[in-house]
Chain A
Amino acid sequence: MSSAIHIENLSFGYKGNTQKVISRVNLQVEQGNRFGIFGPNGAGKTTLMNLMTGLLPYTDGSVQLLGHEVRKNKKLSNTLFGFVPQDFSFYHELSPVENMEFFGAWAGLGKKQIQQRTDDLLNIMSLQEVRNKPVNKFSGGMKRRVNLAIAVMHEPRILFLDEPTVGVDVQTRHAIIHYLKALNEKGTTLVYTSHQLKEAEDLCNKIALIDEGKIIANNTLSGLLKEHQQEGLEGLFLALTGREYRD
Chain B
Amino acid sequence: MFVMPVILAIVIASVQNSTFELVNENKIPVLLLNRDTHEPAKELEAALSEVGMFDIKKATGTPNEETLKDRINTKDALVAIVIPDNYSEDVLKKAKHITSEALKNIELPQDSIEQTPHEATPVQVYYHPVLQQSFRKSIDGMLRSSLQFIQTKYIVKDVYHAVNEEDIPLALENQIVTNQTPVAEVPVFKNNTRQIPNATQHNIPAWTIFAMFFIVISLGSSVVREKLNGSIIRLRTLPTHFGLAIISKQITYVAVTILQATVIFSIGIWLFPQMGLPALNLPSDIAALSLVTFICGWCAASFAICIGVFSNTQEQANGFGAVSVVLLAAIGGLLVPSFVMPPSFQLIMRLSPLHWCLEAYYGLFLEGGKLQDIVMNIIPLLAITLLLQIIAFYGLRHKRLI
Contacts and interface: CB of A to CB of B under 8 A. Distances in A.
Contacts, number: 58
A88 interface: yes
Given A76-B239, A83-B237, A56 B229 contact: no
B234 A89 contact: yes
Given A56-B400, A106-B245, A91 B229 contact: yes
Nearest to B236: A55
Interface in A87-131: 87-92, 103, 106-108
A221 interface: no
B246 interface: no
B238 interface: yes
A87 B237 contact: no
A75 B239 contact: yes
Q: How large is the interface on B (under 10, 10 to 19, 20 to 34, 35 or more residues)?
A: 10 to 19
A55 B237 CA distance: 7
Nearest to B244: A106
A92 B236 CA distance: 18
Q: How large is the interface on A (under 10, 10 to 19, 20 to 34, 35 or more residues)?
A: 20 to 34
Interface string A146-184: 000010001000000000000000000000000000000
Contacts of B255: none
A55 B239 contact: no
B234 A83 contact: yes
A54 interface: yes
A76 B239 CA distance: 7
Nearest to B245: A106
A103 B238 contact: yes
Contacts of A55: 233, 236-237, 400
A88 B235 contact: no
A79 B239 contact: yes
B321 to A, nearest CB: 19
A56 B240 CA distance: 16
Contact of A150 (B234, B239, B400): B234
Interface in B214-264: 226, 229-231, 233-241, 245
Given A56-B400, A106-B245, A89 B238 contact: no
A174 B101 CA distance: 116
A89 B230 contact: yes
Contacts of B236: 54-55
A54 to B, nearest CB: 7
A53 B400 contact: no
B61 to A, nearest CB: 69
A66 to B, nearest CB: 14
Interface in A51-72: 53-56
Contacts of B237: 53-55, 78, 81-83
A88 B236 CA distance: 15
B234 A103 contact: yes
B239 A85 contact: no
Contacts of B226: 91
A90 B234 contact: yes
Contacts of A83: 233-234, 237
Contact of B238 (A56, A76, A92, A107): A107
Contacts of A56: 400
A188 to B, nearest CB: 15
Interface of A: 53-56, 75-76, 78-79, 81-83, 85, 87-92, 103, 106-108, 150, 154
12 contacts: A78-B237, A78-B239, A79-B239, A83-B233, A83-B234, A87-B229, A89-B231, A90-B231, A90-B234, A91-B231, A103-B234, A106-B240
Closest 5 CB pairs of A and B: A89-B230, A89-B234, A78-B239, A83-B237, A79-B239
Given A82-B237, A87-B233, A154-B238, 17 more contacts: A54-B236, A55-B236, A78-B237, A78-B240, A83-B233, A88-B229, A89-B231, A90-B234, A91-B226, A92-B229, A106-B235, A106-B238, A106-B245, A107-B239, A107-B240, A108-B239, A108-B240
